[in-house]
Amino acid sequence: MQTEKIQKPTTLPKPQLSFWQIWNMSFGFLGIQYGFGLQQANMSPIFRYLHADESAIPALWLAGPMTGLLVQPIIGAMSDRTWSERWGRRKPFFLIGALITSIALVLMPNSTSLWMAASLMWMLDAGLNVSMEPFRAFIGDKLNDKQRDLGFAVQSFFVGFGQTLANLMPRILPLFGITMVAAGANGIPDFVKYAFYVGAVAVLAAVLWTVYTTKEYPPEDMVAFEREKREGGGLLHIFTEVGVALREMPTTMRQLWWVKFFTWYGLPLMWQYLSLAIARHAFNAPSPESPGFEKGIEVGNDCFALFNVGCFGISFFLPAIAARIGRRATHATFLTIGGLGFLSMLISSDKSAFLIGMTMVGLAWGSILSMPYVLLSSSVPKERMGVYMGIFNGFIVVPQIINMITIPFLYKNLLGSDPLNALILCGICLILAAGACFLVKENKPSEEAALPIHPGGN
C-alpha cells in the first residue's frame, strides 16, 4: 500500500502526519538496530573466541567510529543532493546500506580468524552507517518542528525494540533446537550464527517496508536544486559542502560537543566489556576456556535486552517530559540515571546487579538517541539537514576513536585489567555529560539570527 502521495514543490509548512505514517517511515530503523544489537552484544565474545587479548578489544572496535566518521557526512551530503521521482532522496541509501549489512551479517559468524572478523566488522559498520544517517535526516525532511520529538521518539522505540529482539536470541533460538554449544573450528556457538542469519533477513525486510510504504517530498525549490547539481556535482563538491557546513555550524550544535564527547567516550566501554565483566564477576569465568563463559554471554544478552526495554519503554514519555522541564534538563536527568546505573554494579557481583544497572542505563539510552537530535534538528538549516546530521555523527565517532586509542594503554594500569572497572569509568563519563548539558542554550530565534536559513543549499 502507498500511505502518502508525493507533494508538489511548496514552501508551505509540512503537514501533520498520522502516527502510522511516522511509524512506517521509521520501521526500517527496526532492522538496522537489530543489526546493531547483534554487533554490540556479540562482537567482543566473537573476538575472544578467535583468541583476541582483552586489552586489544577496543582497537578491534575501531571500525564503528571510523566508518561513521568517513561515511556519514559524505552520505548525508550525497543524499541532500539526490532526488528521483521513483526512489526519492534518502531511500536509495537505505537500500544500499541494507544490502551491505546483510552480506556482512551472514559472513561474520563464519569467520575463521581474527583478521577476518575484524575486516567484516568494517564492512558491517559501513553498511549500517550508510543506512542509518539518512534515517536521521528523514525526520527533518518529513516532519514539521512540532512532530520531530515524536519522530525521534518512534526511532528510539525501534532502536530499543530491534536491539531487544537481537539480545533475546539466546532465549528464543533454543526453542527451535539451537543450543549454546559451540560448533565448527572457530568455536563460535550456533546461537550466534543463526541470530546473525535472522538479522540479515530482518534488515532487508524492515528497510523494504519503509521504502514501499513511504514517499518522500521533493526539494522545495527544484530549479535551484537542479542548477546546483549541474554546477557543483561530484565528490569534490561534496567535501567542499561538508567544509562549508563545518564553518557555519550552528551555535547549539557547537555547544552539544561536550555532552556528546563524555557520552561517547564512555559508552563504547559498555559494548566492549559488559559481557566479559559479567562472565568474570558473576560466573568466575575470565576467559572463553573457563566454565561459565557462555553463561556470562547469555546473561550479557539479557542485560542488553533489559537495557533496550528501558530504552523503548521511556521513548514515548520523553516528549511529554521535555515539554514540562525542557529538552536540556530532560537529557541531563536521564544521563545521570544511566551513570548511576553503571556505578550500582559495584554493589554486588550477583547477576541481578548487572541486570538492574543496565535497565537504568537503558533509560539514558532512550534520551541519548532522541534529545540531542531534537535539539540539533531545530537549529540547523533544513536544506542542509543531511550533511549536518552526518557531521553531528562526528560528535559521536571522534570520542569513540579517542576511547579506542587510549583504553588499550589505560586498561592494565588505570583499570586494573578488570572489565568491571571499565563500566565504572563509563558511568563517570555519563554523569560528566549530564553536567555538560547545561552549557547548551535552547534558543531557536537566536540560532536563526546567527545562521540565517537560505534556499539552495542542497
The Cα 24–Cα 22 span in angstroms is 6
Which strand (E) or helix (H) includes residue 319?
helix 318-325
Q: Would you say residue 322 lies in a domain?
A: yes
- Do 287 and 420 lie in a common domain? yes
Residue-wise pLDDT tens digits, 395-427: 888 898 899 889 988 998 899 999 999 999 999
> What is the pLDDT at residue 312?
75
**Any idea which residue has 512540532 for its cell?**
146
| Domain boundary pick from 197, 217, 237 | 217
> What is the pLDDT at residue 446?
32
- Residue 163 pLDDT greater than 90, yes or no: no
Mean pLDDT, the chain, rounded, equals 81
Burial 235-266, CB ≥16 within 10 A → b, else e: eeebeebbeebeeebbebbebbbbbbbbbbbb
Q: Would you say residue 11 lies in a domain?
A: no
Q: Is the pTM of this model over 0.85?
A: no
- Do 270 and 199 lie in a common domain? no
Please provide the distance, in angstroms rounded to a whole number, between the alpha carbons at the two ends of the chain.
Answer: 30
- Residue 5 pLDDT greater than 50, yes or no: no
Q: Give the range of the structural domain holding residue 153, as residue numbers without chain letter.
A: 18-217
- Do 110 and 204 lie in a common domain? yes
- Do 287 and 148 lie in a common domain? no
Q: State the CATH number of the domain containing residue 375.
A: 1.20.1250.20
> What is the pLDDT at residue 180?
60
Q: Would you say residue 244 lies in a domain?
A: no
Mean pLDDT within 328-345: 96
- Do 307 and 409 lie in a common domain? yes
Residue-wise pLDDT tens digits, 47-93: 988 988 888 888 888 877 777 777 766 776 777 777 777 777 788 88
- Residue 442 pLDDT greater than 60, yes or no: yes
Residue-wise pLDDT tens digits, 377-400: 666 666 666 677 667 777 888 898
- Do 408 and 352 lie in a common domain? yes
- Residue 151 pLDDT greater than 60, yes or no: yes
Overall domain count for the chain: 2
> What is the pLDDT at residue 252?
80
- Do 374 and 290 lie in a common domain? yes
> What is the pLDDT at residue 455?
26
Q: Would you say residue 227 lies in a domain?
A: no
Q: Would you say residue 267 lies in a domain?
A: yes
- Asked whether the CA dihedral 225, 228, 230, 235 is positive or negative, the reply is negative
CB 126 within 8 A of CB 110: no
Q: Would you say residue 242 lies in a domain?
A: no
- Do 268 and 163 lie in a common domain? no
- Do 212 and 88 lie in a common domain? yes
Q: Would you say residue 243 lies in a domain?
A: no
- Do 355 and 260 lie in a common domain? yes
